[in-house]
A = this chain, B = another copy of it.
Amino acid sequence: MAKLGFIGLGVMGGNMVARLLEKGHTVTGYNRTRSKAQWLIDKGMKFAESPKAVAAASDVTFTMVTNAAALAAVTDGPDGLLEGIGAGKFHIDMSTVSPEVSRALAAKVREKGADMIDAPVSGSVITLQQGKLSVMVGGRKESFEHLKPLLLDIGPKVTHVGDNGVALAMKIAVNLQLAVQMMAFCEGVLLAEKSGISREVAVDVMTHSAIASPMIQYRGPFVLQQPKEAWFDVNMMQKDMLLAMELGRKLNVPVPTTAVSNEFLTAARGMGWEKLDFAVMFDVLARMSGVTTGVQK
């Protein structure tokens, strides 16, 4: 069993650590807010005082944080991961940042004699807990082969899709479709509803039809009732849309449905709903259609 480090103990990261502990690994963790790590400390995780200390204590260090700024905050500076990592060690970044940011970080890690791969995941905590999470990997083939057994302790499907940053591009390319599919779903539900079909029946029929992706199956019912806690809120969804549009501009790929759907996420923020699950797109479109929903009060 390897000595592992894990920086960023949010819902997803924390559950991964729990899983790695169960598999028998030694894990040293770090989180900005220590109190959120207590349940993991109770399970045997060591807590370190800085990202640098985590990397120094570990053969392989994971990072899983919110965005590029948060990633820089844990990798750079005197207490950063880059100060603790060294020859023969590995860094696995699971954050969703742009491929460019990821490649720039990989270059810095290599200057220290270590190597980095990007390994973003698609799926929710439930998927992780069920042991069904897919992991896409970008980076050197040899590093991938070396780290694969470790990643298999997280999820059953681990795929090498290309060089550094490429797994992130893949994830972004998948995630833009979440928002567009949801937007089209909202258009369909409102058409059905205004045609005289109850919203419940419309959602039921659609979640059993040819357009019922796994995402539509679990998120579709959110147009009837927002979940207690957002699974993926408007701000998070929009972050991924912006990464998709940024990638589109860099690579010269027009992304028209992404661009249009994104404007409805902006509208959701205009209405003050940025912390709700992004299924709240439905309430934006409903308001534009003169239909009242629960969210609108």
Question: Given A205-B174, A210-B214, does the pair A289, B194 have CB atoms closer than 8 Å?
Answer: no
Decide yes or no whether A170 CB sits under 8 A from chain B.
yes
Q: Return the CB mask of A169-191 against B: 1 if under 8 Å, else 0.
A: 11011101110110111011111
Question: Given A136-B205, A174-B209, A185-B177, does the pair A254, B191 have CB atoms closer than 8 Å?
Answer: no
Docked pose: A209 CA to B284 CA in angstroms: 27
New contact pairs (20) apart from A169-B195, A187-B248, A254-B289, CB-CB < 8 Å: A162-B197, A170-B205, A174-B205, A174-B209, A176-B184, A177-B206, A180-B183, A180-B187, A180-B257, A181-B213, A187-B255, A191-B253, A242-B249, A249-B269, A252-B266, A253-B266, A253-B285, A254-B264, A254-B270, A256-B263
Interface size counted on chain A using CB atoms at 8 A: 82
Specify which of B161, B176, B190, B254 is in contact with A263 (CB 8 Å cutoff).
B254
Give this chain's copy count. 4
Inter-subunit contact A287/B287 (CB<8 Å):
yes
Question: Given A210-B174, A255-B187, does the pair A197, B161 have CB atoms closer than 8 Å?
Answer: yes
Docked pose: A104 CA to B148 CA in angstroms: 45
Docked pose: A290 CA to B202 CA in angstroms: 29
Decide yes or no whether A267 CB sits under 8 A from chain B.
yes
**Residue numbers in B under 8 Å from A262 (CB-CB):** 259
Inter-subunit contact B195/A187 (CB<8 Å):
no
